[in-house]
Chains A and B, each alone.
Chain A
Amino acid sequence: MFVKKLRNYIVCAAVSLSALWSTSASAEYALNLTKGVTPISREVYDLHMIILYVVTAIGVAVFAVMFWSILHHRKSKGAVAAQFHHSTVAELTWTIIPVLILVVMAIPATKTLIKMEETTSPDMTIKVTGYQWKWKYDYMDEDISFFSSLNEESNKIRKGESETNVMDHENYLLDVDNHVVVPVKKKIRILTTAADVIHAWWVPALGWKRDAIPGFINDNWTYIEEPGIYRGQCAELCGRDHGFMPIVVEAVTEPEYLAWVEKMKTQPVEINPEKLYATHCSTCHQANGQGLPGAFPALAGSPIAIGPAAAHIDIVLNGKPGTAMLAYGPQLSNEELAAIITYERNAWGNDVGDVVTPEDVQAAR
């Protein structure tokens, strides 16, 4: 462990030094806002640059005057203090000029904002739901729906369970198991909401982020012009693993998109209890069922997981309001729930030995 840490330090130091000296490597070494890949994101970028130039110019002017005076009006140079302390003309000037600058700035900003809020007549709609700590995507016109969470490699690295060095994993923390595949050159409406706490869906290349609020739906739109893979992250503190719920949008051409839709629709639903547990439950209760003391209870040996099945089904179906334990009833099918519960009752030394069937789950709903 220590050796690994030390190696990390050395790699980091080397990388940062080389980065400092090679400003040419600006591609991966971003200093500025991304231009993005949509018409809106480019407008946003332009606004950003305008306001940046404006404030830089003001700053340079003000500080120049100040430093000139600091250099020349110092006592050690024999400067004698003037005694003026007021000038209506000057004061009015430096009230009015900033007002004018701001008015000029507000005009393009208003225009862009109005365009961004124009979400009507989309070509397709995707509903994005934030969960602690994964995203769910519902393609409203296609009846496709899936979860997307941090991919396994990143997850292992962050937990210190992998041999790979962080610095060698290119998309560390920016990779997911299931990409959101969308067509290019289509107006896509994106609805955001959440199931537990507030999250925010943000892909910088699209030029905006929007909060996902439990019980409410926000809408937004995008129009991606170039095929490519665009990465983003949850941008609203949502608890322990807020830093670990990335977003990957894969923009493809129309035919490729249709093929993907076809594949998604025909793919059989696979029920693998261990995998289901890993996707939905292990972030909190951990892969080994030990939970995290103080925050998430252990399921191994838990009175509920080895007690009567009814209580177990109940807490998984309905969650426990006011805690992080969510109701999984609305999220997962009876089959999936039955598989997970059965798994929990018979893993990590829990040996109840019973089998919870989809019918049991249905009956408890």
Chain B
Amino acid sequence: MSDSHGAYFIPEPSKWPIVGTLALFVSFSGGAMMLNGSGPGTVVFGLGMAALIYMFAGWFADVIGESLKGVYSDQVDISFRWGMGWFILSEVMFFAAFFGALYYARVLSVPWLSGEGSGLATNTFLWPDFEASWPLNVMPDTSNFAVFEETIPAFGVPALNTALLLASGVTVTLAHHALKKGHRSSLCWWLAATVALGFIFVGFQAQEYMHAYSDLNLTMNSGIYGSTFFMLTGFHGFHVTMGATMLLVVLVRSMKGHFSAEHHFAFEGVAWYWHFVDVVWLGLFIFVYWI
């Protein structure tokens, strides 16, 4: 518990939450219409997304304004920390679902389909020629799936990407040290390096996807391997993009001198998020690409 029990900052009524809710509602409706191939789905979805961006910009502008006015006591800062911390845990659990799916497929369902465990009847009667392998390029029934020749090897671009992300973890920490010492320009440089590393990562990832789709015939439709591969790396890539964007915002704010050596929760929150994205990647690198 914090000792500074001054008056806790309770914001005035704000329109942003309801704007955000409506924006999400419109986006979801539009997305669903798009998937059904019905109605003006794309337009609705686009409107929702625009509203979402408007909401984020407005809400964060308010928060930044309040922060600069100094209404955030230490206790408010701690609330933000708890909030961000548990939000990251929820993200961890989201990825856990997909890692769970990967584990289940590799260790349970694919071997079972090939007759291991008590799966003998399954194999003999339903999928007589099926043999388990990982990466699973020959599915039990290939007719509806994209069969691929090879996968993306771990020690190529993925290893490079690992190095990039690890390096970005270091640079963001160096930036933090600089911030705590009050060296604004070195803070900005390290942050800029982090952002650059993040976007380079995303660029490489995009290139790998194109390679997989056009050269390897490895797609979302490549059975359970393609499913888990693209789902895990895809959501991760999405998170990297989000993280890098947030870092970019923090960079701009650093350049404007929004952060003091003592007060810089926004920076720290994003840095935590960045480390989380980093750790998830290590999991991916090991379990998706490597072993």
Contacts and interface: CB of A to CB of B under 8 A. Distances in A.
B125 A215 contact: no
24 contacts: A127-B125, A191-B121, A191-B125, A193-B122, A193-B125, A193-B126, A215-B113, A215-B122, A215-B126, A215-B127, A215-B140, A216-B112, A216-B113, A216-B119, A216-B122, A216-B126, A217-B119, A217-B121, A217-B122, A217-B125, A217-B126, A219-B118, A219-B121, A321-B144
Given A215-B113, A216-B122, A217-B119, 12 more contacts: A127-B125, A191-B121, A215-B122, A215-B126, A215-B127, A215-B140, A216-B112, A216-B113, A217-B122, A217-B126, A219-B118, A219-B121
Contacts of A191: 121, 125
A217 B122 CA distance: 5
A295 to B, nearest CB: 16
A215 B118 CA distance: 14
Among B113, B122, B140, the one with the most A-chain Cβ atoms within 10 Å of its Cβ is B122
A337 B122 CA distance: 27
Interface residues of A, number: 8
Contacts of B112: 216
> Sorted from nearest, which 10 A-B pairs have the closest CB atoms?
A217-B121, A217-B122, A216-B122, A191-B121, A219-B121, A217-B125, A217-B126, A215-B126, A127-B125, A193-B126
A171 to B, nearest CB: 32
A328 B126 CA distance: 16
Contacts of B121: 191, 217, 219
Interface in B107-156: 112-113, 118-119, 121-122, 125-127, 140, 144
Interface string A314-335: 0000000100000000000000
A100 B112 CA distance: 37
Interface residues of B, number: 11
Among A193, A215, A321, the one with the most B-chain Cβ atoms within 10 Å of its Cβ is A215
A156 B258 CA distance: 76
A217 B125 CA distance: 8
Nearest to B144: A321
Contacts of A215: 113, 122, 126-127, 140
Contacts of A217: 119, 121-122, 125-126
Contacts of B113: 215-216
Interface in A204-251: 215-217, 219
Interface of B is mostly: helix
Interface of A: 127, 191, 193, 215-217, 219, 321
Interface in B184-209: none
A187 B151 CA distance: 47
A215 B127 CA distance: 8
Contacts of A219: 118, 121
B48 to A, nearest CB: 26
Nearest to A214: B126
A193 B127 CA distance: 13
Contacts of A216: 112-113, 119, 122, 126
A216 B117 CA distance: 13
Among B112, B121, B125, B127, the one with the most A-chain Cβ atoms within 10 Å of its Cβ is B121
A220 B194 CA distance: 58
Nearest to A191: B121
A127 B125 CA distance: 10
A237 B17 CA distance: 39
A185 to B, nearest CB: 24
A191 B121 CA distance: 8
A231 B125 CA distance: 27
A127 B122 CA distance: 11
B271 to A, nearest CB: 44
Contacts of B119: 216-217
A193 B122 CA distance: 9
Nearest to A189: B121
A321 B125 CA distance: 22
A3 to B, nearest CB: 44
A202 B122 CA distance: 20
A144 to B, nearest CB: 16
Contacts of B140: 215
A191 B118 CA distance: 12
A256 B127 CA distance: 35
Nearest to A219: B121
A216 B118 CA distance: 11
A191 B119 CA distance: 11
B127 to A, nearest CB: 8
Contacts of B126: 193, 215-217
A219 B113 CA distance: 14
A219 B117 CA distance: 12
B284 to A, nearest CB: 27
Among A193, A217, A219, A321, the one with the most B-chain Cβ atoms within 10 Å of its Cβ is A217
B128 to A, nearest CB: 12
A215 to B, nearest CB: 6
A149 B279 CA distance: 54
A216 B127 CA distance: 9
Nearest to B118: A219
A321 B143 CA distance: 12
A127 B140 CA distance: 20
Nearest to A318: B143
